[in-house]
Structure 1
C-alpha cells in the first residue's frame, strides 16, 4: 500500500516503524509493570535515580521525557509511598536532590526484571550480531538527529 501522491509510504518509513516499535514496547512494558503497581514513568524515574542518585526534579523530567510539573507530581507520590526521599530544604539553590529508599530499590529490582523480560521477548529471533547491529543503528540515528539540533 504505497502512496503515489507524494506522501510518506508507511510500509517503508523508518520513522513510522520506529514509532510503531516504540508504541508496542511501551504497551508491553506497561503490561508487566501494572501487576507491580507501577507505571512506566514511575519505573523510569526510579531507574534514573538508581543510576544517578541525587538528580533534581528537572533532570528527572528530562530523563523520563515528561514535563517538570508532571515529574513534580510523580516524585511527590513516590515520596509519599516511601520509594524516594528528598530533603525538606535545599542545601544549595532550590534543588531538592532525590534518592531511592530501600523500599524503592526493592520495587525497582522487581520492575527491572519485568522490563528486561520484555526486552528479551522483543529481541527473540535475532542473533547476537543482529542485536549489536540494531543497537548501533538506533544509536546512530539518535546521534544524527541530536547532532543536527533536531532532537
Structure 2
C-alpha cells in the first residue's frame, strides 16, 4: 500500500526536494518545523540540537586547530588532572581508540603531558601543560560565547531547569 507523501510547508531557506515514490516532491522540513520541531521525539530533538551545537563549535574552533572532541578532552583534563585515557573516553563519550589518537596529537603538540600512575605503572595519567592551558583558554572564550547564545532566551531559573533536566536524563539513563 502506497503512503501519501506528507505536505510540509516550505522553510525560510529553500531545501532541495526529493522525489516521493509517487513522483511528487517531498519538502524536507527545516529544524524547528514538523517532526524537527515541537512535534518531534525528544531523543531526536536532543540529537538534532547536539549536531547543531557540535557543527557550530567545530566552525568556531577551526582556526585554532582544535576539534570539538579535542576541546572536550582538554576540558576534562583541566577539570580532572591525572585522568587515564580510559577515564577521558568515558567522560567525553568517545571511543578509547579515538581518545588515543587525540591524546597522541595533543601530546605531540605539547598541550598535554603523561606521567605514570604512582601505583599502577601501566596506567598513563594525562595533564595539561602550560601550552595546553593557554589553548584551552582561547577555546573556552569562544565556547562561552556559544553557551551564551544557547541560553540567550532563558532566564536564570529556566536555564537551571534545563541544566537539571539534561543532567537528570544522563543520570537516569546511564545504566540502561
* Bin of the TM-score, shorter chain as denominator length: 0.7 to 0.9
Give every structure 1 segment of 4 or more consecutive aligned residues whose post-TM-superposition deviation is greater than 3 Å. Answer: none
Q: Which residue of 2 aligns with 1:23?
A: 51
**Larger of the two Rg values belongs to structure:** 2
More helix by share: 1
Provide, for residues 39-81 of structure 1, a one-character-per-residue CA deviation record: whole Å limited to 9, x for no partner: 0111111111111111001111111111111111111111110
Give structure 2 stretches of 5+ with no counterpart: 1-5, 7-33
TM-score with structure 2 length normalisation? 0.74
CA shift for structure 1 position 24: 0.9
Aligned to 1:102: 130
| Displacement of 1:135 | 1.3
Give the alignment's Cα RMSD to 1 decimal.
Answer: 1.8
Structure richer in strand, relative to its length: 2
Tell me whether 1:135 sits opposite 2:163 in the alignment: yes
**Cα distance in 2 between the residues matched to 1:76 and 1:144:** 33
> Are 1:125 and 2:142 an aligned pair?
no
**In structure 1, what is the equivalent of residue 72 of structure 2?**
44
Structure 1 length normalisation: TM-score?
Answer: 0.85
